[in-house]
Structures are given as C-alpha cells and as structure tokens.
Structure 1
C-alpha cells in the first residue's frame, strides 16, 4: 500500500538504506535453522550434505562429525541423493532512531558430493519509532492461511496486516546479537518478549509507559493482563492508580475493568473512590450492566426511529417524484373494446399489481423509472398482463402476465399499445 503518513514515508526511505544480511548472521542462520545430515548407503559410503565430503562409516544411525568441515551431522542410511529445506529467522537491531526487526527466509539445496547452496531473502521488516508507533514493510502475500505464500518478486512496501509477520517474529529463531532502542529502559529480551512478537512487545512498552511501572511495582498477573490488553490499560489506568492509593483489593481485574468502562458509559466520575472501589464488585458490576443495557436499548430505539423517519422521507420523495414525472399520463386508457390498458397512477397500484401478478413491478420500484411508463392490461377489470413502454421509443419494452408468463392475449396487447403510441406522445407534449 502507498505510504500516506510522514512516519510511513520516512521508514520506507530508511528501509532502502539497510545493509544486506552479514556473513556472521548468515553463518549463524545456516547452523541454527536447519538440521544437518550425513547420508549413508548400505556399503558404508557416507556423504556430508553440507560440504560434500565422502568417507566410510560403519555406524548406521545417530550422530557423527564430518572429518572435513567438523559439523555435527545426523546420520541417516538412505539412497537419497539430494535434500532441500526452508526456514525463517529474525534479526533485531536499530537503524537511526528506529527499532528494527528484520525477517528473512533462508533456503537450502543439498546434493551428494557437492557443497550445499544457501540463499537468503528478506521478507519483512518491523519499524518501531521512539513513541511506540509501529509499521510493517514486507513482501506481498497471496490470500492464504499458510505462512509460505510470499510473492518473492514483489517489492517491499507498507503492509496493512501483520499477523503472519508477527507469528514469524515470535516463533522463529532470533539472531542472538540484538540491539534495543535506548528509550526502552527495561530488559524485555531477558523476559523473552513475554511470548509476543518482539516488535509488538517493544512498541507497547514505548507507547504505554504504564507497563514499565506495572512490571517494576505490581504483580505479574496484573502486568500481563494490561500488557495483553492495551485498550483496558489506557481506559482504566487513572482509576487503577486511585484504587491502589486507597489500598483497594481488586479480586477480579477483568471484571473490575469492565465495571470501570460501564461507569464511563453511564457518565460517572471514575476518579471518585466511591464508584471505583465498591464493597461488592460483582454486585456493582451487575447493577451497572443493567444500566448500560438500558442505555443501549434506548439508543437502539432512537436509531430505529431515525431510520424509520429517514425511510418515510425517502418513500415520500419517491412518491412526489413519481407524481411529478407521470401525472401527465394519469387517466390514459387504451382499448380495443375487449381489452383495456390503463396507466398505473400511484405507488400503491404498483405494489398491488406486483402482488396480484406475482411480478417485481412494485418491489423493483418501477415507479421510480424516469424513461418508462407502466400500464395494466385488463379484461372486465381482471388483470391480464403488465406492460412497460419506453418513453424514448414509444414502444413496448416488456409485457408480462402472472408469474412472468405470457398469456393468450400477449400479442394483442403488444399490438394494441404500439398502435396507439400517439396517445402517449400527445400526453408527453401537452
């Protein structure tokens, strides 16, 4: 997506200045991301799938060490000649004033007797500003639930949804040499980012300084609750501090936060200990739950009234428009002595015509069409077919009987209306 904010434009510009993955990072990823094999055949000939060296081994399984490259290998007796693999890894660092988390895909292609070939492609980046603002730059993905669906030829752009990137950042190996933005004053690495995406964790700590206070001074349960619910932390923080100053014991933090939000809905003073420190939290919660439900019900009724008023106004506008456009044709009757074709003169007549004939002339709002005229063909007052005439060509567009079927009078009705088109034209020019 195109960058629209100053932050997006800046990080997209800075992203182009990032250096490729270093040799040390690549070597670490090769060793960390893949299981390394030695393939052995029945006669004992063994090949290191990393460096391509071959030697004789009497072991049939377990671990071994390549005599040439010294890498510990998993020994597998097999006739396979090649293997491949794919994995992701992350690098946490800084670029200027920003915290960066870069995500890479690493590919391995291994063949007996040859040195393994590895390639690394950057798939995404998290950028976190000192104020906690966070954005993702990454490759385009196809619409799939699978992680491995990146379009590797697509450009690195701002991406709106970051769930997959967050999963990669949280679940895949992290390069051990990490750099943390200086404005973050606590050790989130030592706590393994609290089982969150590192960038998301850092962003929350930077945007919500309350979390640092909770981490240092409150229980782990309270801290983790607010860490995973930033909205509750922002909404209830002032009330929470007042409750703590009054030594109020919150027995159920989730219930208490819901209670505070209901107090705000009811426009109560959430800085008053009388409200925020109830003797019986559950009872107070239930009381205000009923009050909020009553408020919501009143809002729904008011919205329903406004909707009905709007619909009535729109319906009246349609009726007024119909009268303005078609009143000149009212009273027009075309007859051959047996069949009588008359203009429908009100919205109610359109609806009745549609109900009786089981057609959509009313529900499809044909009365609102500016360029056509609707007539009803009848014999002795009984509806036979419904006729639509074009006001541009003065000819029948369609003529339908009950359930959109033609009757035995169909051709007569069409010929009757077409042959008397001058009557319609006279009304148009009158």
Structure 2
C-alpha cells in the first residue's frame, strides 16, 4: 500500500534507512531462539546445535520419563534428549529488536529459520545447520500512541495468515484504521515474540509510563499503545498487575471492578489469575458483600473462595428454579385433574403391594423428591399419554413409580429409588398387566 499522508511517507523513508541486523544480533538469535536438544535413536544422538551425530547409551523410556541429558562432544553444548527418528529438522521463530528512530518507538520483528539434515560422519560437509534471518514486520509508534505498520506482503497459503513473502520489499500496511486491539480477533501485525534482543532502546515517555517486557502475555507493540493512550494501563503495569493488564488488553476491565483493584494495590495483593478473580468479585457483588474490604477482595486462596461462592450461587439458582417449577406446576393442577381425574379412583394390589394413581401435581412432586428421580422435574404431569402410578407396601412406604402409556396400555418404565429396580419389580409389572382392564375401562 502506498503512503497516504505525510507521517506515513516519513515512516516509509525512515524504515528504509534503518540499519541492517548486525552479526552480533544474528549470533544472539541463533544461540537463544532454539532449544538445546538432541534427538536420540538407536544409540545415536543428533545434536541440534552443531548438527553432528555422536554415540550415547541411553534408555528411551528414561528419556521420556526422567528427561535424560548429555553433552555434545563436538560442540560442548548441554543437550536435553528427546526420542525421535527424524532425519530432517526445520524450525522458525520470531525475535524482536526494540529501538527508536526520530521520536518513534520501533519494534522490528524478524523470523529466524534453522534447517538441518542428519548425515553420516563419512560425508564431508552438511553437518552445520543452515540459518536464514528475515525481517517481517515493523511497528512504528508515536508518542501519542498512534501506530504505523511496515511489513512484507503475505503469500496466499490456506490456514496460514503470516506466510511472509521475503522476496518483496516492506511497505505501509493498514493497521486496522486505528482500532484498539482490545479484541479476540487475530492481528498478523501484532507479534508477541518470546525472544527480545537484550540491548533495547525505548522512547522517554514510554519509559516514564512503566514499559517493560516482563508482561509477556501482551505483545510489545500493543503494550506500548496502551501505555501511551490509557492511564489505567499505566497504573496496572506500575503496580505489577500483569495478568489484569492482559485481561484489559483482550476484553477490557468493567468499571465496577476498578475500586477492588485499588484495594488490591493498597494491600500489595497481586492478582495472578485475573479472569478467575474478576468472576469472584462479581460473585461478591451478587451477594452484596463488601468489595472494598481487603478481607474479601484479597483472598489467600482465590480458587477456594471462588468455588465456595459459586456453590452458594448454584444453590440459590436451584432454589429459584424449584420455586419456578412449583409455580408452573400449580398452574397445571387443574389441567392434570381434568385429563387424569377419571383414573383417580383406581386402586389394586395383593397382600403386600398397593398400586394407586398419582392424584395431583403436588403428589407427583412428593413422589419425585422421596424416590430421587425425575418424574416431577421432567414434567410428567404435562404428558397427556402418560399415566403415573405409585406402588407402596402395606405400611405406605413407596416402592416404585410406574409410567403407563394410555395409547398402548403398556408399562413404559417402573423405577425405584434413584431409578433402580427393586426385588418387587417383576411383581409390580405383573400386577399392572393383570389389572389393566380397570384402567382401560376408565379411559
């Protein structure tokens, strides 16, 4: 994209004049970005630092369980062993150089790629890994927090949004029309690299506002924009509330949470799990507990206190659902009596079992509560084709609850306590089948 205004033209000109990456910076990237590992297979270790192979007696199981280590005799690198039969290795990592230019804070993002092939010792050459280092993106940020992007174009590769085309030069890119990056949408120009070159230059205003690379959940460019445009972000980073700062960057912080954050800062309390802590504060607010009291706001065991309030909230919601079900059920009493009233006089049994029809929605609720099943909760009183009966012993103790289909006049199910089958199950089914004519006549 062509520069559209004076500032963009200046950024494009300054970008072209930035110095090339030095040999010292390249060597740092080679030494830092790649894990020091050795691939073990059949008594051989392939060193990922120098590319050479050496013999080593090791147990594959011990490597997986214990994490065996060794020292490469060729380059002296301390290696962590991993079981692998691969003969080719390609790794790519981002690393960042933070610098300044004419009042701009500049973050230069490079990709370092290492390619290696496993070859035998008697082949000359080919042992040394091949490295390529290319610059992909530059974030140029002014003192007032405006961001300008210089980047390579991207190749059209499905499912890969940062396939940079290093054959073409950098140009100005649209950074989203100045939108804030407080969202979950991916931004290919917002690179949060794990490796940052230790010699860093930061503009004075950004340094004054507390900029640091310790908040590694937020990319350097996003953090710089936040600190230059948002006083709350400055407060969070200066009080080392890094996880709250991350939450702010991805979804923002509700206004009603902010007084509780001040209580944390006054008491030196660091929020380590911001999303859980914010949910906990909202639970405190729900129960009208004092969210400006350090006793509640700064718990020693956040998860324990959160789970305690969550259980209380769930019990409250369950009680409310029960009340709502009871109100709904009361409205069904008249309908239930009209639909099933003709069966209410039916009663049959033998010398130790009595089977009767459940005569009301309230009685069905008692049945479900006593038997610990869902005859009431699942609204069987609403089902026109179902007739619910209760089997009891001679002392009035419930044995099983029976559902009979009024179209087929067959038992759909007969459940004891907690939906179990009782020793009298077959006898109850037999009683129903033997007296089915009583129900047919009433129907």
Q: Give me the TM-score of the superposition, normalised by structure 2.
A: 0.45
Structure 1 or 2, whichever has the larger Rg, is 1
